Structure 1
Amino acid sequence: MPFEPSLLFQASFWGDLSQLITPAVGETLYMVVVSTLLAYLLGLPLGVILVVTSPGHISPNPWVERILGTFINILRSAPFIILLVAFIPFTRSLVGTSIGTTAAIVPLVIASAPFVARVVESSLKEVPYGVIEAALSMGASPLQIIKKVLLTEAKASLILGITITTISIIGYTAMAGAVGGGGLGDLAIQYGYNRFRTDIMIATVVILVVIVQGLQSLGTTLARRLSH
């Protein structure tokens, strides 16, 4: 049934809309938060390894850097919608189902972790090597340099990277809705597009814009406070 503007003045309309959107927002936030945490749990070490094994760094190893970099590039080159479908058997074996918000987290992490690795690599390479040389001259170990020099000096850039990653994952969750992943994307497709509910389409877009703007503002503010 097409959306009629006169419905905006009916209290029952807003109640029905709220009942649909509220759980969808909760599902989207659940997917975004868990996926971002797990993506950084995997991607942060990968990014660090890419940096420290690069030529001229503290533990140069061209083979490790080349193989790891190639693997990351392969995953990054695959569109998310393809990864979403390709990893259905793996998702089903891991969480017992391939449909729903928890199932969507698996391909979200697989798609986001390589992106995180490259973002972390870019952030850590911004640290002047002179600072690293100073730490080496004082007898710091590679692990100490990673923890107290690289990650500490690049914290502002890393915060911005987290912001970019989180916003990208929000976009991925919308695509996950196309295959029953739940959240706002699923709501927009199942109720907004398939049932010609323009009001739901508009509401989901507005909510996503508000979430993205809020995250971007928060990330920029934190990065500004942490920068030297």
Structure 2
Amino acid sequence: MYPLVDTSYIKDLSDNIAEETRPIVVEDKIYVAVGKDFKDSRLTLQWVIENRGGSTIICILHVHQPSNKVPFGNISLLAGIMYAQQVSAYHKTERQAMLQLLEKYNQICQKAGVVTEVHHIEADCIENGIVEYIVKNNVRSLVMGAAASKQFSKKMVNLKSKKAIYVCFHAAASCEIQFICKRNFIFIRRKIRLKMSKKLDESKWKANNKELA
């Protein structure tokens, strides 16, 4: 179960991080982080299509996390104890499934008449992969899920996904991040210009949200 995160505390830490009541998509390119859960990520992607600027290019971003376990009969074994050829074959199957999934996301954009780019990388940690991709590719605008759709309520104002929380704290300050749940805008982390005397202190913030520790 994901922890409840009070985003008002983030706002207190920096005047440059603000919660908004209206979504804003203004960049020439906007990246949308999509995952293996097609149902949830499809809703996030549809929100972006509906709220983007007319000429905005949507960049579908997926971080593929190769499985560290390989099916063997009725059980799954750690990849480290399997033959390299078996592991390689299974990971190849995973990548093929990933490409098929990304094509489904791409088709949603194509049907809406949206100019689309598809980007995917591999990483052992999905949220860290997103953070590193933002830095390496100078991403200025990102949209991602705030929580699973089943956790949505009309009163929701907090981030509940550990991935969302991590990205919110660790992504480059130059990237604006909007968090969505079930096609509803939840929270925005504005581009930040932090002063040396006023930095985000994640450890202090977690102390006030002990369930994250």
What TM-score results when the alignment is normalised by the length of structure 1?
0.29
Q: Which has the higher helix share?
A: 1
What TM-score results when the alignment is normalised by the length of structure 2?
0.31
